[in-house]
Structure 1
Amino acid sequence: MGFLAGLLLLYMSEEDAFWLLVALLKGAVHAPMEGLYQFDQLVKEHLPKMGEHFTQEMINPSMYASQWFITVFSYSFPFHLALRIWDVFLYEGVRIVFKVGLALLKYCHDDLIKLPFEKLIHALRNFPDDAMNPDTLLPMAYSIKVSRGLEETRQEYEKKNGKINQSTENEKQLQ
């Protein structure tokens, strides 16, 4: 959380940063695990060869993308790119995290699908500098459509993990 707070403090007062951090974290207790599940499904949908390769190498998003979801790229990405992603994140919400993650994988697709486990993990944590160019990466991210898939995979995740939507439960009790 320090990376998030630090980024916010660069651009606003302590009080404003605190309240923005509170607003960002509301309802985020289980969000990283749900987000990683959704991301895994989106990789399989948008990049099927890579999804298959990750399955064969027993790679899951928690091994490389956890920090993406927890810090919205502010920890492991160059500062200039993280700022551009945060601009979009504050305007559009969490969808940009999925889109940027997919865009990175798409950009490096041909190299990543050739790598064995150890080298693949290293590559997923250390993307090349040319992949970190916001003028290349963000347009690629914007071209990826994920909205419908996110809702479907969220419901699938909740069903798999025995979570029941409270409003659905209340509706059933009223009938």
Structure 2
Amino acid sequence: MDKWSISDLSPSKFSNIEADCYWCLTKLLDGMQDHYTFSQPGIQHLVFKLKELVRRINEPISRHMEEEGLDFLQFSFRWFNCLLIREIPFHLVTRLWDTYLAEGDALPGFLVYIFASFLLTWSDMLGKLDFQEMVMFLQHLPTQNWTHQDLEMVLSRAYMWHTMFESSPNHLA
């Protein structure tokens, strides 16, 4: 395969790619405007849903986090605000954003499942940590060597849980 760079693109093609990126991001963020307004009520609501979902999926980890005094807002606020872009290696961002764009208007609700799957990837480790260790661990997650397969596992679990729980009428109301 030939290598190419952005400088190989004509100004017209570059402009079209830039416009496509802009409109994809606009569409993505359009359904989440309340995430980026005063007091960020959209994020606050999703953090609550994340906490409830984790409690339903893995009650012992949920209880451990609660007993240690770790509030979900302390680590997941950044996840919701930055859509996990700071937590995963850059070479996986395209795959993650492909999922985000495919979800369309349903993305905000689906993020809860992605983030629950992401968090519970480390449930065995988290169960052994105290408050301070959990905070440090969750701020510096060991994802630097992640592969597409690691991200696919997170997304697969998220889809599975979404399918299981979303059909429950009172789930995460």
CA RMSD of superposed structures (Å)? 2.8
Native 8 Å contact 1:100 1:141 kept in 2: yes
Which segment drifts farther, 96-105 or 85-94? 96-105
Q: Give aligned-pair identity as a percent.
A: 21
Select the residue among 146, 161, 172 that pairs with 1:145.
161
Match of residue 58 from structure 1: 69
- Give the C-alpha shift of residue 91 in structure 1: 0.4
Q: Distance in 1 between matches of 2:142 and 2:96?
A: 18
Q: Structure 1: any 5+ residue segments left out of the alignment? A: 1-9, 156-175
Match of residue 99 from structure 1: 113
Match of residue 123 from structure 2: 109
User: CA distance change for structure 1 residues 50 and 132 in 2, over 3 Å: closer, same or farther?
Assistant: farther
User: CA distance change for structure 1 residues 140 and 23 in 2, over 3 Å: closer, same or farther?
Assistant: closer
> TM-score by structure 1 length?
0.69
Helix, strand or coil at the partner of 2:171: helix
Helix, strand or coil at the partner of 1:132: coil
Q: Distance in 2 between matches of 1:105 and 1:11?
A: 38
> TM-score by structure 2 length?
0.69
Q: Distance in 1 between matches of 2:18 and 2:82?
A: 19
Helix, strand or coil at the partner of 1:103: helix
Asked if residue 19 in structure 1 is aligned to residue 23 in structure 2, the reply is yes
Q: Structure 2: any 5+ residue segments left out of the alignment? A: 1-13, 35-40
Native 8 Å contact 2:117 2:155 kept in 1: yes
Q: Distance in 1 between matches of 2:133 and 2:27?
A: 38
Native 8 Å contact 1:72 1:86 kept in 2: no
Q: Distance in 1 between matches of 2:108 and 2:83?
A: 8
The size of the alignment, in residue pairs, is 145
